[in-house]
Structure 1
Amino acid sequence: MLSIDNNSNATYIRRSPLEAELGYCLATAATALAYKTLPSFSNPFKKQMTREWGNNHLYKDVFLKSVENSGLTQKGLQIISETGASDIGRGLNACYIPSQKVIRLNINKASISGFHELGHAINHIKGGFSRFLQNLRGPGMALAGVMGTVALFSRNKPEDAKKNFGDFIQDNCGKIAFAAMLPTVAEETLASYRGVKLAKEAGLAKPLVNNLKKFYGKALLSYGGYALVTGVSVYLASKITEMFTRPQKINKPEY
Structure 2
Amino acid sequence: MSTIQSSNGNQYVTPGIGLSTAGYIAGSMASGAIGRVTNQVICGPILANGLKENNGVDTNAIRKALKIALDSTGMKDKGVTIKDYSGCKPSDVKSIKRIVNEFLVRIIKRKEKVSVLDFINAQAKEQAKLGANALYADKAVHVNIDRAGLTAFHELGHAINENGSKFWKMIQHSRKFLGLVVIPSLPIIAMCKRKKVEGEETTGPIDKVTTFIKENVGKLTTLAFIPVIAEEFKATARGNKIAKELLSPELAKKVSKCNKMGGLTYVVLGISAGVGAFVANKIKDAIAKPKLVKNPEI
Range into which the TM-score falls when normalised by the shorter chain? 0.7 to 0.9
The one-letter code sitting in structure 2 at the alignment partner of 1:30 is A
C-alpha change, 1:207 and 1:7, in structure 2 (3 Å) is: same
Tell me: CA distance 1:238–1:50, structure 2 relative to 1, closer, same or farther (3 Å). same
Secondary structure, aligned partner of 1:73: coil
With over 3 angstroms needed to count, the CA separation of the structure-2 counterparts of 1:138 and 1:4, relative to structure 1, is: closer
* Percent sequence identity over aligned pairs: 26
Unmatched runs of 5 consecutive residues or more in structure 1: none
CA distance in 2, matches of 1:144, 1:124: 22
In structure 1, what is the equivalent of residue 226 of structure 2?
Answer: 182
Partner of 2:56: 54
- CA positional deviation for 1:233: 0.7
**SS state at 1:54 partner:** coil
Indicate the residue corresponding to 2:76 in structure 1.
73
Structure 2 residue corresponding to 1:42, chosen from 41, 44, 58: 44
**Mapped contact 2:141–2:155 kept (Cα < 8 A):** yes
Q: Structure 2 vs 1, CA of residues 5 and 46 (structure 1 numbering), >3 Å: closer, same or farther?
A: same
Partner of 1:29: 29
1:128-207 alignment, distance < 5 Å: 128-141=166-179, 142-155=181-194, 157-163=196-202, 164-202=208-246, 204-207=247-250
- CA deviation digits over 1:45-66, x for unaligned, max 9? 1243155142142533323322
| 2:185 counterpart letter in structure 1 | V
In the aligned structure 1, how far is the partner of 2:235 from the partner of 2:11?
56
Once the two structures are TM-superposed, the CA of residue 12 in structure 1 deviates from its matched residue by 2.2
CA RMSD of aligned residues (A): 2.4
The answer to whether structure 1 residue 96 and structure 2 residue 97 are counterparts is: no
Shift of 1:217: 0.9
Tell me the TM-score normalised to structure 1 length.
Answer: 0.87
> How far, CA to CA, are the matches of 1:172 and 1:254 in structure 2?
31
Distance 1:53-1:251 versus aligned 2 partners, 3 A rule? same
Change (3 A) 1:157 1:201: same
Whether the aligned pair in 1 keeps the contact of 2:53 and 2:254 (CA below 8 Å) is no
**Structure 1 residue 102: Cα displacement:** 1.5
**In structure 1, C-alpha distance between the alignment counterparts of 2:242 and 2:5, rounded to whole Å:** 63
- Report 1:79-90 matches (<5 A): 79-82=82-85, 83=88, 84-85=92-93, 86-90=126-130
Distance 1:76 1:25, change over 3 A: closer
User: Cα 1:154–1:74, aligned 2, differ >3 Å: closer, same or farther?
Assistant: closer
Alignment deviations for residues 37-87 of structure 1 (CA, whole Å, 9 cap, x no partner): 222123221243155142142533323322232221022212221233232
Distance of aligned partners of 1:210 and 1:251 in 2 relative to their CA distance in 1, 3 Å threshold: farther
Deviations 1:197-241 (A, max 9, x none): 011122x22232222221111101111122111111111111111
| In structure 2, distance between residues paired with 1:108 and 1:205 | 18
Q: CA deviation at 1:2?
A: 8.3
Q: CA deviation at 1:250?
A: 5.7
